[in-house]
Amino acid sequence: MISKISGMRQAQLQNSFVSDNNDLSQWQYIIFSDAENMNKFKGIMFKKLYIKDFCMKYSRNDLCFCGSGKKYKNCHSDINPNSLVAHQYRIMHLLDEEIKNCPYTICQKGCSDCCTDDFEVSVTEFFTILNYLQIHCNNQQIENICKLSKVKISSILSNEKTIAFSRCIFLNEHSNACEIYEVRPIICRKYGYYSTTTDCSKIISDKKASMSLLKNTEVDTSSNILSFILPNNTKLLQKSHSLIYWFSRVEQGKLSSNKMNDLYRVAVNSPISEYIRILQL
């Protein structure tokens, strides 16, 4: 079932976007060397002005790109600050800051009504979550997540949707809390705070909560996450799948193909332009 849907979607996307092998050395770089210019970068993101690629000069004593307030050396020093995963962290931080403008919500820890597996996430989000798990979990815990994902995929193929789209694979069995809350997908961050992504009956029936929902986000959650603009102004689109699909493709810490393993490596360790170069191979 998943493969058929994905195939149809992929065919539509291939008709809509053209990808080209281009000389990425011509990409424009914007260099941020101090905190003042970093604040300008935040402003640019909120105004939805698109930055094709950026190369920031980072020292170990600079504040981490994730927005935690910690020094880079004491936070995400294992992630290249100009990488795709670092960009994902910046977007998540900007969303979290914007969500603070929501005056009232009934969403709280332990409520898991919306936490199922029937939504899609980008490969960028998958790489970010996988990296987080490899840092915070042992191999057996990750293997258990992958095995559960495979069971759920099998249930989809057998038309057992009740099993497939039940609890999210990252919900704590006892507390119903999200075990990857720090790196939860963008759709999870938006749900319950934006009117365009919220259909929860509890929120809709609560007048104060419903009226408090934000209308639109000013954060660009697509550029360099779902798609890339190439030097000739064509779009290169990344795949999106369910969390269970992505983690069913992991076997003993390795991804399903050499190219996926290469993409994961550069998504964490190299600038975005290197990721796009490998993506086009």
For residue range 4-34, list pLDDT tens digits in order: 333 433 333 233 222 333 333 333 333 333 3
Q: Determine the pLDDT at residue 115.
A: 87
Q: Residue 173 class from Cβ within 10 Å (0-12 exposed, 13-18 middle, 19+ buried)?
A: exposed
pLDDT bucket at 232, cuts 50 / 70 / 90: confident
User: d(Cα 14, Cα 5) in Å, to the nearest integer?
Assistant: 14
For residue range 170-183, list pLDDT tens digits in order: 998 888 889 999 99
For residue range 101-116, list pLDDT tens digits in order: 999 988 887 788 888 8
Q: Which of 45-49, 112-116, 252-256 has the lowest mean pLDDT?
A: 45-49
Residue 256 has pLDDT above 90, yes or no: no
Beta carbons within 8 Å of 237's beta carbon, 6+ residues apart: 13, 16, 17, 19, 226, 227
Kindly report the pTM of this predicted structure. Answer: 0.78
pLDDT above 90 coverage of the chain, percent:
48
